[in-house]
C-alpha cells in the first residue's frame, strides 16, 4: 500500500555531506571586513569577498553624513544580500531627516585561486526604493600575501560620484532597472593590511563625493578621494572600526555576526536517551516471543501507561497506541526536540524497553494539532542492530510514509483529552522603521490558554496588558486617533482603498487589557495526503471571522498545494469583542515547493484583504538545524500610487531555533519579519498555524535534515 | 494469565524507572530568561566565588576512594571517567548493554558509549562524538598487534548535520605493566593508536590484557572536548 521512499535520500545534503569543515578545523586568519554599508568591503567601497554561507551580520556605521544600520545575510555561498535603514539629515524636503530603506545584493562570479586569478564579484547597491545610495559595481580582490589584500573595480552611480537624483514625491520601492550600470563609470580601489590577527588598516580610493548629503549646508564635502580606516576584530563575532572620508569627515562602525552553521553546543546539552534494551533469547521468554500476551486485555493498558510515562519524561506525549502481537503504532506529540528525528529516535528506544519481544514492527507517528502528519516505520531488529551507528544506516532502513488518518485499534491514552494548558509571561513587541522614529516598543504581561477539547479541536486565546512602552496609538497619515475615529470610515477618502493595515497603529497603545486573539480551530485529515483547518473567532488583532484552509502534501513530495478562504470583519480599535464596518472575503491558492539544498518557495495567488488581487512570492533559505531566512514580495492590481510609499509589499523574515543558541532542547524559536511600512495593498490575514508549516516539520525532507540526531 | 500480566508490568516498570530520571515535563512553558539563567548559573557561580564556597566543605576524593564508594553503592559495571578539558572526574554506571556495546551514564545523564573498551560515542556533553567506527583499529588494539588501520569519527556540526572525520591510524605497542585499581589486579600491555585526519593528530592509549580487555585507556572524544581517561572499577 505504501511505496517505500528512497529517491530523496540520495539528494539529501544532510545525510551525504562528506566534509569536516564544520568541525572548526583550520580557518583562514583573514576574514571578511565589513564596510560602512555593512557589506564586504573597505570603508565605502566593496570587495569581492564572500562571507561564509549562513553568516548573518548586523552593522551600524555612524558619520556626519549618515547613520546606516544594515543586516546582511549569505544564503548560499556566492550570494550576499543586505537590507539597510539609513538616517540622513537634511535630505528629505518633507522631514528633517530622510529615513531611507535600501537593499543590496552582491554575487561572487569567480573565487580566488592559488595562482593569478582574483575573486570577482558584481553588485547592486540600493537597487530598489528611493535609491539615494544607488550604485553598481564590478570588483576584483586578490590576496597578495596572507596579510595584504588588494581590490579594484569599476563603479556606477554613487560609486562614480553620480548621484541619481531622488524624487521624494515618488512612491519608490520599485526596481530601478533602467538606472543600473548607467551614466559615468569610474574606478575605485582598496587595500587592507592585516597588522595583527585582529587589527587591519584600510585605505581606499573612491569617487563618491557625497553630493546629496552636502546639500545640507552644515555638512562638509570630503576633501579628497582617499579614505582611511582601521578595523579591529574580536573573534569571528565582533568588528569595530573607525574611518575618515576624505580626511576631514570621521566615522565609526561596529558589527556583530552570527553563523547558522556555528552553534555553541552542536550536539545539544539534553540528557542521554535511555539505551536500546535488546530482547532476551526466545527460550528465556517464550510467552513474550509467542505473542500470547496480546490476548491479555490488561497488557496494552499497562504497556501504554508505562510507555506514556517514559515518553513524558522525554517531553513527548503518547496520544494513542495500537498494539498487536507483532506490530505497535505509537502516536506522539513532540514538545521538546527541535528536530523531529530526535524525538522519533528516542521513542524507538523507549519502545524497545516497553514492548514484549514479539513486537517486531514499530510505527512512530508524529502528531501535530491532534492530526497525524507522518509515520516512520522501523524494524525492531534494525534498531537493536544499528543502535549508535552512523545515522545514515538507520535512515536507509526507515520508511517514512503518509500517516493513516484512521487506524484500526487505536486506543487514546487516558487523560490526554480534553486538555487545558495556560501560561503567563511577559511580552515585548517592537515597531521598526517608523519614518519619524526608528523603533518603538511596548512591554507588558500576557496570559495565554489553550483548551484541547478533542483531537484537532482547539480553543485558544490570549489576553495582554501593556505595562509601559513608546508604541502609542496613532491614526493613519497625519491624523490623530480622534480625528481618524471621527471620520467614521475604514475607506481612505483620497484613494477609495480600504484601510486594512495603514491604520494598524490605531490598535496599539491601549492601556486596558487587549485580546490579540481568541479562536476555535478544527484540524482534520480527511485522506492520507490532505489536511484541513477551520479557524473561527478573533483571528488577529485587526480582523475576526472565519478562515478555512485545505492542503495537499504527501509526506515525500517536494510539492504541496493549498487553498484558503477567509470571511473576515475589521475589529474595533479598543473594544475586544466589537467590530467596525469593513467586511471582506479574501482567499488564495498556494503552491509550495522544496527545491532541495535547503531552499523552499511559496507562491500565493488570490484576493487580499483590501480586495486587491495579485500574487505573493516567497523564498526561504532553511538550514538543516532550522535556521531560516526568507524574503517575500507581493504585487497586486493596486497601483503603485494607491499603494503609497514602497510601491508594493515586500520584506524579510528571520527565524532562529533557540536550541541553536543555548544547547538545551526546546522547540521555541526567535525571529520576526522586517517589512516595509504597513500599507493596505497585498495584505494577507495573519491567522496562526497555517497548515504547511504545521505539517512539514515531520515530513521526509525535514526529517532527513535532522536525521543526524536520530541516535542523539 | 498472571505470568503475562507480570511480564507486561515488568516492561512497564523498566520504562518507568527511566522516566524518573528525566527532566520535568513543562515544555516551552518556562521563560527564555529561566533557561538562560540555568545555563549561566555555573559561570555566574564561578565569577561570584559561590562555587568555591559550596565545594569547599567536601575534600576531593582520590580515585581509589571514589571507586570504593561506587562499588559499595552500585552493583552495575562501573568506570571512573576523567574529562581532561574540564578537569572533572566522575563514576559512570552501565545502564544498558547491546551485544558488546555498553552505555555508561553519570547521575546527571551524560553518557559514554563503549564497545569492548573502545570509546565509540558520547551523549549530553554538547560537542559529542556521535559515533566512532573503529572496527579496523580495534582489531589490532585488542589483539595487541602493531599495524595500520583507519577509523571514522562522526560529529554533529553546528548546523545539525552529522559529518565524518576519517582518520588514518598507526597502532604501536609499548611495554607490559602490572597494576591494581579498585581491588582488581591487572597485567596489561600498553598500546598506542596515533591517528591523523582533518589536519589533526591525536593519540589514544590503551592498557590491553592478554584476553583483549581494556581496563585503562585515554581516548580522544573530539576537537572541542579533547581527551577522556577511562578506568575500569568493575568490569
In angstroms, the CA A628 to CA A605 distance is 23
Residue A423 grid cell: 501560561
Q: Provide the Cα torsion A317, A320, A324, A328; round to 10°.
A: -40
| Domains of chain B and CATH, by start | 61-221 (2.40.360.10)
Confidence of residue B38 (pLDDT cuts 50, 70, 90): very low
The pLDDT score that the predictor gives to residue A640 is 83
Q: By the CB < 8 Å criterion, does A384 face chain B?
A: yes
**Which residues in chain B are closer than 8 Å to A660, comparing Cβ atoms?**
158
Question: Residue A116: is it exposed, middle or buried by C-beta count within 10 angstroms (0-12/13-18/19+)?
Answer: exposed
Q: Which helix (DSSP H) or strand (DSSP E) does residue B162 occupy?
A: strand B162-181
Look at B3 and A425 and tell me if their CB atoms are within 8 Å.
no
Residues near A262 by beta carbon (within 8 Å), at least 6 away in sequence:
A24, A236, B158
In angstroms, the CA A695 to CA A144 distance is 51
DSSP A707: G
Report the share of chain B in percent with pLDDT over 90.
69
Q: Are both A500 and A644 inside the same structural domain?
A: yes
Annotate A114-159 with DSSP letters as a single string.
SSSPPEEEEEEES-BTT-TT-EEEEEEEEEEETTEEEEEEEEEEGG
- Whether residue A418 has a cis bond before it, omega within 30° of 0: yes
Q: Which residues pair with A399 in a beta bridge?
A: A377
Q: Are both A176 and A315 inside the same structural domain?
A: no
Q: Of A386, A416, A446, at which residue does a domain stop? A: A416
Q: Are both A553 and A680 inside the same structural domain?
A: yes
Q: By the CB < 8 Å criterion, does A709 face chain B?
A: yes
For residue A136, being part of any structural domain is answered with yes
In angstroms, the CA A432 to CA A124 distance is 24
By three-state DSSP, how is residue A305 classified?
Answer: helix
Q: Are both A608 and A467 inside the same structural domain?
A: yes
**Which residues in chain B are closer than 8 Å to A359, comparing Cβ atoms?**
none
Look at B156 and A666 and tell me if their CB atoms are within 8 Å.
no
By three-state DSSP, how is residue A350 classified?
Answer: helix
Count of positions (residues) in chain B: 235
Look at B161 and A268 and tell me if their CB atoms are within 8 Å.
no
pLDDT at B58 over 90: no
**Which residues in chain B are closer than 8 Å to A421, comparing Cβ atoms?**
29
Q: Of A259, A289, A312, at which residue does a domain stop? A: A259
Annotate B97-133 with DSSP letters as a single string.
EETTEEEEE-TT--EEEEETTEEEEEESSBS-EEEEE
In angstroms, the CA A81 to CA A553 distance is 31
What sections of B88-227 are H helices per DSSP? 135-142
By three-state DSSP, how is residue A678 classified?
Answer: coil
| Terminal Cα-to-Cα distance of chain B (whole angstroms) | 38
Mutation site for A-interface testing, chosen from B104, B161, B164 by largest number of A Cβ within 10 Å:
B161
Residues near B221 by beta carbon (within 8 Å), at least 6 away in sequence:
B119, B122, B125, B127, B128, B129, B227, B228
Q: By the CB < 8 Å criterion, does A19 face chain B?
A: yes
Our CA-based measurement puts residue B42 at a distance from the nearest CA of chain A, in whole angstroms, of: 14
* Average model confidence (pLDDT) across chain B: 81
Q: Are both A328 and A239 inside the same structural domain?
A: no
B1, closest residue in chain A (CA to CA): A296
The Cα-based distances of A372 to A89, A332, A341, A501 in angstroms read 56, 9, 15, 36
Look at B3 and A285 and tell me if their CB atoms are within 8 Å.
no
pLDDT at B209 over 60: yes
Q: By the CB < 8 Å criterion, does B26 face chain A?
A: no
Q: Are both A58 and A38 inside the same structural domain?
A: yes
What residues 147-206 of chain B have any CB closer than 8 A to a CB of chain A? Answer: 154-165, 197-200
Mutation site for A-interface testing, chosen from B158, B199, B224 by largest number of A Cβ within 10 Å:
B158
Residue B28 grid cell: 516551552
Residues near A114 by beta carbon (within 8 Å), at least 6 away in sequence:
none
Range of the domain at A119: 30-259
**Which residues in chain A are closer than 8 Å to B35, comparing Cβ atoms?**
658, 662, 664, 666
In angstroms, the CA B208 to CA B188 distance is 5
Pick from B109, B126, B198: CB nearest A23: B198
For residue A621, being part of any structural domain is answered with yes
User: Within 10 Å of residue A223's Cβ, how many Cβ atoms?
Assistant: 12
Q: Are both A234 and A139 inside the same structural domain?
A: yes
Q: Are both A401 and A286 inside the same structural domain?
A: yes
CATH of the domain at A48: 2.40.160.40
For residue A393, being part of any structural domain is answered with yes
Helix, strand, coil proportions of chain A in percent (round to 5)? 15, 45, 40
Give the residue among A18, A267, A16 at the shortest CA–CA distance from B121: A267
Q: Which helix (DSSP H) or strand (DSSP E) does residue A288 occupy?
A: helix A286-290
The pLDDT score that the predictor gives to residue A156 is 95
**Which residues in chain A are closer than 8 Å to B90, comparing Cβ atoms?**
none
pLDDT at B40 over 70: no
Q: By the CB < 8 Å criterion, does A390 face chain B?
A: yes
In angstroms, the CA A376 to CA A397 distance is 10
Residues near A561 by beta carbon (within 8 Å), at least 6 away in sequence:
A551, A552, A553, A589, A590, A591, A592
For residue A505, being part of any structural domain is answered with yes
Look at B14 and A354 and tell me if their CB atoms are within 8 Å.
yes
For residues B163-192, one letter each, b for 16 or more C-beta atoms within 10 angstroms of the residue's C-beta and e for the rest, the string is bbbebebbbeeeeeeeeebbeeebebebbb
Q: Let me know: does A51 contact A40? Beta carbons within 8 Å.
A: yes
The Cα-based distances of A511 to A439, A445, A514, B181 in angstroms read 19, 12, 8, 70
The Cα-based distances of A16 to A11, A518, B127 in angstroms read 8, 45, 21
The Cα-based distances of A573 to A351, A464, A475, A541, A578 in angstroms read 52, 14, 11, 9, 9
Q: Let me know: does A603 contact A615? Beta carbons within 8 Å.
A: yes
DSSP A484: H
Residue A57 grid cell: 551580520
pLDDT at B210 over 50: yes
Residues near B225 by beta carbon (within 8 Å), at least 6 away in sequence:
B83, B85, B122, B125, B127, B128, B129
**Which residues in chain B are closer than 8 Å to A273, comparing Cβ atoms?**
123
Q: Which residues pair with B197 in a beta bridge?
A: B200
**Which residues in chain B are closer than 8 Å to A708, comparing Cβ atoms?**
130, 156, 160-162
Q: Are both A464 and A519 inside the same structural domain?
A: yes
Give the residue among B95, B208, B69, B85 at the shortest CA–CA distance from B141: B208
For residue A380, being part of any structural domain is answered with yes
**Which residues in chain B are closer than 8 Å to A276, comparing Cβ atoms?**
96, 98
Annotate B59-89 with DSSP letters as a single string.
PPPPHHHHHHHHHHH--S-EEEEEETTTTEE
Q: Of A259, A279, A299, at which residue does a domain stop? A: A259
In angstroms, the CA A700 to CA A400 distance is 7
Look at B127 and A336 and tell me if their CB atoms are within 8 Å.
no
Mutation site for B-interface testing, chosen from A77, A274, A385 by largest number of B Cβ within 10 Å:
A274
Look at B8 and A303 and tell me if their CB atoms are within 8 Å.
yes
Q: By the CB < 8 Å criterion, does B2 face chain A?
A: no
What residues 315-354 of chain A have any CB closer than 8 A to a CB of chain B? Answer: 315, 335-336, 339, 350, 353-354
Look at B28 and A666 and tell me if their CB atoms are within 8 Å.
yes
The pLDDT score that the predictor gives to residue B41 is 46
In angstroms, the CA A662 to CA B175 distance is 46
Give the residue among A342, A388, A275, A22 at the shortest CA–CA distance from B121: A388
Residue pairs spanning A and B at CB distance below 8 A: 248
Q: Are both A507 and A576 inside the same structural domain?
A: yes
Mean pLDDT, consecutive 10-residue segments, chain A of 712 residues?
A: 35 36 40 92 96 95 94 95 87 69 94 92 87 93 94 95 72 72 94 94 95 86 95 92 95 95 94 97 95 94 97 96 97 97 98 97 97 98 97 97 94 94 90 69 94 97 94 87 91 91 90 95 98 98 97 97 98 94 97 96 97 96 96 91 79 93 93 81 95 96 96 96
Look at B157 and A266 and tell me if their CB atoms are within 8 Å.
yes
Q: Are both A463 and A409 inside the same structural domain?
A: no
Q: Are both A379 and A446 inside the same structural domain?
A: no
For residue A426, being part of any structural domain is answered with no
What residues 95-134 of chain B have any CB closer than 8 A to a CB of chain A? Answer: 95-99, 101, 103, 105, 108-111, 113, 120-121, 123-128, 130-131, 133
What residues 143-162 of chain A have any CB closer than 8 A to a CB of chain B? Answer: none
Helix, strand, coil proportions of chain B in percent (round to 5)? 25, 45, 25
Residue A310 grid cell: 517514559
For residue A474, being part of any structural domain is answered with yes
DSSP A98: E
DSSP A193: E
Look at B159 and A664 and tell me if their CB atoms are within 8 Å.
no
Q: Which helix (DSSP H) or strand (DSSP E) does residue A384 occupy?
A: helix A380-386
Give the residue among A623, A653, A17 at the shortest CA–CA distance from A339: A623
pLDDT at B110 over 70: yes
**Parallel/antiparallel/unpaired status of strands A361-368 and A327-334:** parallel
For residue A13, being part of any structural domain is answered with no
The pLDDT score that the predictor gives to residue B10 is 34
Give the residue among A218, A208, A257 at the shortest CA–CA distance from A234: A257
Q: pTM of the entire structure? A: 0.89
A53, closest residue in chain B (CA to CA): B159
Assess: ipTM above 0.85.
yes
Residue A411 grid cell: 486506543
Look at B4 and A287 and tell me if their CB atoms are within 8 Å.
yes
Amino acid at each position: 500500500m505504501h511505496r517505500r521512499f528512497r529517491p530523496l535520500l540520495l539528494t539529501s545534503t544532510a545525510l551525504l555531506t562528506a566534509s569536516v569543515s564544520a568541525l572548526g578545523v583550520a580557518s583562514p586568519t583573514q576574514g571578511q571586513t565589513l564596510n560602512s554599508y555593512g557589506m564586504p568591503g573597505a570603508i565605502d567601497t566593496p570587495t569581492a569577498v564572500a562571507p561564509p554561507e549562513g553568516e548573518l551580520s548586523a552593522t551600524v556605521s555612524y558619520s556626519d553624513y549618515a547613520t546606516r544600520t544594515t543586516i546582511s545575510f549569505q544564503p548560499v555561498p556566492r550570494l550576499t544580500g543586505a537590507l539597510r535603514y539609513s538616517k540622513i539629515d537634511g535630505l528629505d524636503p518633507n522631514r528633517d531627516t530622510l529615513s531611507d530603506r535600501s537593499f543590496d545584493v552582491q554575487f561572487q562570479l569567480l573565487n580566488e585561486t592559488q595562482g593569478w586569478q582574483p575573486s570577482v564579484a558584481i553588485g547592486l547597491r540600493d537597487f530598489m526604493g528611493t535609491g539615494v545610495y544607488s550604485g553598481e559595481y564590478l570588483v576584483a580582490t586578490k590576496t597578495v600575501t596572507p596579510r595584504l589584500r588588494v581590490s579594484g573595480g569599476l563603479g556606477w552611480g554613487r560609486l562614480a560620484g553620480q548621484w541619481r537624483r531622488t524624487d521624494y514625491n515618488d512612491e519608490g520601492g520599485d526596481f530601478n532597472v533602467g538606472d543600473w550600470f548607467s551614466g559615468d563609470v569610474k574606478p575605485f580601489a582598496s587595500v587592507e593590511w592585516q597588522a595583527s590577527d585582529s587589527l587591519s588598516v584600510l585605505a581606499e580610493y573612491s569617487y563618491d563625493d557625497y553630493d546629496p548629503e552636502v546639500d545640507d549646508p552644515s555638512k562638509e564635502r570630503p576633501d579628497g578621494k582617499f579614505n582611511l580606516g582601521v578595523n579591529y576584530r574580536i573573534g569571528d563575532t565582533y568588528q569595530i572600526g573607525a574611518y575618515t572620508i576624505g580626511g576631514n569627515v570621521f566615522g565609526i562602525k561596529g558589527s556583530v555576526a552570527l553563523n547558522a552553521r556555528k552553534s555553541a553546543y552542536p550536539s545539544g546539552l539534553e540528557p542521554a536517551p535511555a539505551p536500546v534494551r535488546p530482547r532476551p533469547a526466545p527460550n528465556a521468554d517464550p510467552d513474550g516471543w509467542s505473542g500470547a500476551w496480546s490476548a491479555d486485555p490488561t497488557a496494552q493498558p499497562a504497556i501504554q501507561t508505562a510507555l506514556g510515562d517514559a515518553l513524558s519524561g522525554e517531553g513527548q506525549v503518547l496520544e494513542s497506541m495500537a498494539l498487536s502481537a507483532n506490530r505497535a503504532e505509537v502516536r506522539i506529540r513532540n514538545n521538546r526536540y527541535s528536530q523531529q528525528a530526535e524525538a522519533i529516535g528516542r521513542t524507538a528506544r523507549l519502545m524497545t524497553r516497553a514492548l514484549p519481544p514479539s513486537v517486531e514492527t514499530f510505527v512512530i507517528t508524529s502528531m501535530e494539532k491532534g492530526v497525524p502528519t507522518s509515520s516512520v516505520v522501523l524494524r525492531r531488529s534494525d534498531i537493536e542492530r544499528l543502535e549508535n551507528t552512523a545515522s545514515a544506516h538507520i535512515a536507509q532502513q526507515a520508511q517514512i510514509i503518509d500517516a493513516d488518518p484512521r487506524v484500526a485499534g487505536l486506543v487514546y491514552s487516558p487523560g490526554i483529552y480534553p486538555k487545558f494548558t495556560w501560561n503567563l509571561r511577559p511580552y515585548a513587541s517592537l515597531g521598526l522603521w517608523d519614518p519619524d522614529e526608528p523603533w518603538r516598543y511596548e512591554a507588558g504581561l500576557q496570559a495565554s490558554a489553550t483548551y484541547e477539547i478533542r483531537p484537532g479541536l482547539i480553543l485558544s486565546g490570549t489576553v495582554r496588558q501593556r505595562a509601559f512602552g513608546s508604541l502609542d496609538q496613532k491614526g493613519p497619515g497625519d491624523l490623530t486617533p480622534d480625528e481618524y475615529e471621527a471620520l467614521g470610515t475604514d475607506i481612505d477618502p483620497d484613494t477609495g482603498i480600504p484601510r486594512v493595515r495603514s491604520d494598524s497603529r490605531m490598535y496599539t497603545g491601549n492601556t486596558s487589557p487587549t485580546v490579540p486573539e481568541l479562536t476555535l480551530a478544527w484540524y482534520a485529515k480527511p485522506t492520507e495526503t490532505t489536511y484541513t483547518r477551520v479557524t473561527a473567532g478573533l483571528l488577529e488583532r485587526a480582523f475576526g471571522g472565519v478562515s478555512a484552509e485545505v492542503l495537499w502534501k504527501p509526506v515525500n513530495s517536494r510539492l504541496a498545494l493549498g487553498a484558503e478562504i477567509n470571511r473576515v470583519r475589521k475589529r474595533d480599535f479598543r473594544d475586544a469583542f466589537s467590530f467596525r464596518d469593513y467586511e471582506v472575503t479574501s482567499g488564495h491558492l498556494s503552491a509550495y515547493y522544496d527545491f532541495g539544498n535547503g531552499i523552499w518557495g511559496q507562491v500565493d495567488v488570490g484576493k487580499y484583504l483590501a480586495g486587491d488581487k495579485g500574487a505573493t512570492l516567497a523564498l526561504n533559505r532553511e538550514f538543516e538545524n532550522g535556521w531560516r531566512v526568507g524574503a517575500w514580495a507581493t504585487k497586486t492590481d493596486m497601483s503603485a500610487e494607491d499603494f503609497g510609499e514602497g510601491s508594493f509589499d515586500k520584506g524579510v523574515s528571520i527565524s532562529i531555533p533557540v536550541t541553536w543558541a543555548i544547547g538545551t532542547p526546546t522547540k521555541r524559536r526567535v525571529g520576526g519579519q522586517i517589512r516595509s511600512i504597513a500599507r493596505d495593498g497585498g495584505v494577507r490575514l495573519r491567522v496562526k498555524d497555517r497548515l504547511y508549516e504545521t505539517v512539514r516539520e515531520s515530513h521526509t525532507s525535514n526529517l532527513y535534515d535532522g536525521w543526524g540526531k536520530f541516535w542523539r | 494469565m498472571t505470568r503475562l500480566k507480570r511480564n507486561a508490568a515488568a516492561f512497564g516498570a523498566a520504562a518507568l524507572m527511566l522516566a524518573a530520571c528525566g527532566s520535568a515535563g513543562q515544555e516551552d512553558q518556562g521563560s527564555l530568561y529561566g533557561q538562560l539563567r540555568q545555563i549561566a548559573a555555573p559561570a555566574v557561580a564561578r565569577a561570584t566565588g559561590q562555587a568555591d564556597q559550596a565545594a569547599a566543605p567536601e575534600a576531593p576524593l582520590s580515585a581509589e576512594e571514589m571507586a570504593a564508594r561506587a562499588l559499595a553503592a552500585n552493583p552495575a559495571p562501573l568506570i571512573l571517567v576523567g574529562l581532561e578539558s574540564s578537569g572533572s572526574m566522575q563514576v559512570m554506571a552501565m545502564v544498558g548493554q547491546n551485544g558488546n556495546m555498553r552505555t555508561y551514564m553519570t547521575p546527571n545523564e551524560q553518557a559514554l558509549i563503549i564497545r569492548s573498551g573502545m570509546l565509540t560515542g558520547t551523549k549530553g556533553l554538547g560537542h559529542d562524538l556521535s559515533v566512532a567506527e573503529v572496527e579496523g583499529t580495534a582489531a589490532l588494539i585488542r589483539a595487541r598487534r602493531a599495524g595500520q588501520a583507519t577509523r571514522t569519527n562522526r560529529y554533529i556540526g553546528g548546523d545539525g548535520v552529522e559529518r565524518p572525520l576519517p582518520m588514518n591510524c598507526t597502532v604501536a605497542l609499548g611495554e607490559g605493566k602490572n597494576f591494581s585499581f579498585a581491588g582488581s589486579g591487572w597485567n596489561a600491555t600498553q598500546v598506542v593508536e596515533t591517528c591523523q585526519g582533518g589536519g589533526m593528530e591525536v593519540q589514544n592509549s590503551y592498557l590491553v590484557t592478554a584476553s583483549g580487555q581494556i581496563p585503562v585507556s585515554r581516548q580522544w572524544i573530539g576537537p572541542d572536548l579533547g581527551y577522556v581517561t577511562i578506568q575500569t572499577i568493575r568490569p
